[in-house]
């Protein structure tokens, strides 16, 4: 039953029920498997497994059918993350779990949630908010600029001016999105403190504006007030503004942890679609879907840096 690191196998498109899957790994002593959220995660971890010369398969979460009733039994709202947690919890509850723990791992986005105790044996969490956050640094964006945009910082000429007016570096790209990312993260974190928790409008990107130099700004205060007003809670604005100051400081201190990965992709895409971004081949990077953009960003992460992260090091040690 041994399989390689691809998602395809002799199993075809069959989707296992939760109980079937647990029985499958209990009986399949040669199974080595990583379960992840989606296709971008799948390809990233499959490359890592090949890089480490480890056999096994990397599966997307929909390889297993987890019902709303099964996630509800753990007190979870049904969704991809809840399904992964439920799979990890079911494996943890197996009487064979000590024999399975070095053969199966479930990778979960850290998000804003606490770790689920019932899934502790099998769940491994991203170091930052989500998988895209491994690319949220200057080094990765330097590689992204060079490999995807086909641009790089050029040597300075006379008078300290760049010899290429449309050159770019990872630092320049990071500086154009960092402030807006922190603003949005502070709004998200603040709204989560409401009871029940609130979220920004789905059209939050309309609150972001890119200037002529490619720097994106986001009016976090207006977004916060408008959400509270829409929900009939405008009188609480002063309280939530005070909370947002604390959230902003937290997000600014550790953007990789608190900035939502998809927000990073969306705001960077907006910059690259601007006049400033198009002059630096931004149309190449943003062609296709947000998933395609995530894939390009993660390809730009140095494998050595990735392997040194807590998650990837833990996964390698588990399967070694």
My answer on whether 176 and 285 are in the same domain is yes
> Is 26 part of any domain?
yes
Neighbour-count burial for 51-83, b at 16+ CB within 10 Å, e otherwise: eeebebbbbbbebbebeeebbeeeebeeebbbb
> Is 11 part of any domain?
no
Strand partners for 162: 156
DSSP assigned state of 124: E
My answer on whether 263 and 293 are in the same domain is yes
Q: Which of the four pLDDT bands, split at 50, 70 and 90, describes residue 167?
A: confident
* Structural domain containing residue 21: 16-125
The helix/strand count (H/E) of the chain reads as 16, 8
My answer on whether 112 and 142 are in the same domain is no
Q: What is the pLDDT of residue 204?
A: 97
My answer on whether 200 and 68 are in the same domain is no
Helix, strand or coil, per DSSP, at residue 125: strand
Nearest of 99, 77, 79, 90 to residue 120 by alpha carbon: 90
> Is 311 part of any domain?
no
Q: Is 128 exposed, middle or buried (0-12, 13-18, 19+ CB in 10 A)?
A: buried
Enter the tokens of residue 283.
């149309």
pLDDT digits over 298-317, tens only? Answer: 999 999 999 999 999 999 99
Over range 95-121, report the average pLDDT: 95
My answer on whether 194 and 258 are in the same domain is yes
pLDDT digits over 231-280, tens only? Answer: 999 999 999 999 999 999 999 999 999 999 999 999 999 999 999 999 99
My answer on whether 279 and 178 are in the same domain is yes
My answer on whether 106 and 155 are in the same domain is no
> Is 251 part of any domain?
yes
My answer on whether 161 and 280 are in the same domain is yes
Q: What are phi and psi of 221, to 5 degrees?
A: -65, -45
End-of-domain residue from the set 125, 147, 178 = 125
- With a CB cutoff of 8 Å and minimum separation 6, the contacts of 114 are none
Side-chain-facing half-sphere of 100: CA atoms under 13 Å: 27
- With a CB cutoff of 8 Å and minimum separation 6, the contacts of 109 are 37, 81, 125, 126, 129, 130, 131, 261
Let me know the angle formed at the C-alpha of 248 by 242 and 253, rounded to the nearest 5 degrees.
140
Q: Tell me the C-alpha distance between 198 and 206, whole Å.
A: 18
> Is 312 part of any domain?
no
> Is 102 part of any domain?
yes
End-of-domain residue from the set 76, 105, 125 = 125
Q: Tell me the C-alpha distance between 27 and 160, whole Å.
A: 67
pLDDT digits over 44-56, tens only? Answer: 999 999 999 998 9
My answer on whether 117 and 193 are in the same domain is no
My answer on whether 181 and 264 are in the same domain is yes
Mean pLDDT, the chain, whole residue set: 92
> Is 4 part of any domain?
no
> Is 308 part of any domain?
no
Total domains in the fold of the chain: 2
């Amino acid at each position: 039953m041994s399989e390689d690191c691809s998602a395809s196998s002799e199993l075809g498109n069959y989707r296992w029920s939760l109980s079937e899957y647990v029985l499958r790994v209990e009986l399949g002593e040669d199974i080595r498997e990583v379960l992840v959220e989606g296709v971008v995660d799948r390809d990233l971890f499959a490359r890592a497994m090949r890089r480490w010369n480890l056999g096994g398969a990397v599966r997307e979460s929909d390889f297993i059918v987890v019902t709303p009733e099964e996630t509800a039994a753990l007190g979870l709202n049904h969704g991809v993350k809840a399904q992964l947690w439920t799979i990890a919890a079911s494996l943890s509850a197996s009487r064979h779990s000590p024999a399975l723990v070095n053969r199966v791992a479930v990778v979960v986005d850290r998000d804003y949630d606490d770790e689920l105790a019932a899934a502790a044996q099998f769940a491994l969490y991203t170091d930052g908010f989500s998988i895209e956050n491994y690319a949220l640094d200057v080094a990765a964006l330097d590689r992204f600029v060079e490999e995807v945009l086909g641009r790089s910082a050029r040597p300075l000429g006379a008078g300290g001016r760049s010899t290429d007016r449309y050159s770019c570096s990872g630092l320049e790209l990071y500086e154009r999105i960092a402030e807006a990312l922190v603003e949005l993260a502070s709004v998200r974190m603040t709204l989560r403190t409401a009871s029940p928790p609130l979220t920004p409008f789905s059209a939050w990107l309309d609150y972001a504006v890119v200037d002529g130099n490619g720097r994106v700004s986001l009016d976090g205060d207006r977004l916060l007030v408008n959400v509270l007003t829409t929900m009939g809670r405008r009188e609480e604005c002063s309280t939530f503004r005070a909370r947002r100051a604390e959230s902003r400081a937290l997000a600014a201190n550790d953007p990789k942890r608190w900035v939502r990965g998809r927000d990073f992709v969306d705001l960077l895409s907006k910059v690259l679609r601007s006049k400033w971004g198009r002059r630096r081949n931004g149309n190449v990077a943003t062609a296709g879907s947000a998933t395609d953009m995530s894939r390009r960003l993660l390809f730009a992460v140095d494998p050595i840096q990735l392997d040194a992260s807590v998650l990837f090091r833990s996964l390698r040690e588990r399967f070694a």
